[in-house]
Amino acid sequence: MRSEYIIKWQNNFTRRFLLHPVLEDQSVQLDNEQYYFAGSDHSHIYLGNKHYPQTLVTLGYNLAGIKKLKMAPSDFNHTFRNLQVQVKGPYYYLYDGTVPVIYRGKLGSAAPKTISYRDAYFTQLIVLDSIRFALRTQSKADKMFTIARLDLTRRPKVELYPGILEKQVDGVFDSDGKLTSSAHSDTLVYAYTYRNTFLIMNNQLELKRKLHTIDTTTVAKIQTGSQSNGTHKLIAPPLKVNQNISANRNLAFIQSDLMGKHESVNAWKKAKVIDIYRTDKQEYIGSFYIYNQGKNKLTDFIVTDQYLFAIVGDQLVRYTYRKPITKYFKPGEAENLSKE
């Protein structure tokens, strides 16, 4: 009863570890360690690769039938720094925000076409539909991170939403985080990297909720300095709170970088921890570990209705849920956190 009291009322940083909520049931070895998840649909997952950015890999949920597609845009004469791919059927999208270009191709076709050029520079992109995108970009006026929407049918095409991300220190590092979309939902989630907050937006980029993770880092613990060109740099190692996020329906799975009370140091050396939250209200459901595969550690994961898929070094691992993911929506099965 004492641990129940701490989680419910004192809001101390104490995790509730669920009883084997995911079970590893299948894995396949990849040919290198540079893969990341580019998306999923009802029966397939898609992988991009940092070393071979023009390669799109498709696998079935059974981790069989690997197909590789070499994407070759006709007008590919740009100097890219961080080319990435994202899938939202029936299309894939190839982009690099340091170059203001977005290519779109039909799944299975190796020749994507340019659909946006010189419309926007950006640091992150989420596909809303075939002609609309949510972006994280930097304001020209103050260089701070801001959320924006790119709509290829409108003039102007780009609309900024400067009130969504909140400045605490410098408006750049303190606002850093990951933007993702929730599968089977019109929800976008932005999890701050250095503070215990994640933001819930709809596809119109209206801020619906500001929710909190269970740790107590309300203000980003960073030290920054200004450079002569007006940009900022970190001058001390920051305290990282949230490492990664994947969302599905009304749930957010957040990989935390902070150890809670009474947790085993040995376990943290062998695994990464995932915390589960509701996105429709302030509610922490529980936590679980994703264990290393030998010396390999978790680098990315994606949540579907049936499975959680993880990239652990050069291993692609499939986990099944002990109970259906929608069962977590039922009242009384999770602990509420106090609202802000």
- C-alpha 11/C-alpha 213 separation (Å) is 10
Strands 242-248 and 177-183, bridge-based pairing: parallel
Is 79 exposed, middle or buried, given 0-12, 13-18 or 19+ CB atoms closer than 10 A? exposed
Residue 269 DSSP label = H
Backbone angles phi, psi at 280, to 5 degrees: -90, -10
- List the strands of the sheet with 91-96, edge to edge: 84-88, 91-96, 101-106, 113-117
Q: If you average pLDDT over residues 315-332, what whole number do you get?
A: 80
pLDDT of residue 338: 33
Tell me the pLDDT tens digit for each residue of 87-111: 999 999 999 999 999 999 999 999 9
CA distance 148 to 159: 6
> Any bridge partners for residue 321, and if so which?
22
Is residue 286 a contact partner of residue 21, using CB atoms and an 8 Å limit? yes
pLDDT computed for residue 7 by the predictor: 40
Please say if the pLDDT value at position 2 is more than 60.
Answer: no
Task: Supply φ then ψ for residue 335, to 5 degrees.
Answer: -100, 135
pTM, whole model, 2 decimals? 0.91
Domains defined for the chain, CATH in brackets:
2-336 (2.120.10.30)
pLDDT tens-digit map of 266-314: 999 999 999 999 999 999 999 999 999 888 999 999 999 999 999 999 9
CB 260 within 8 A of CB 268: no
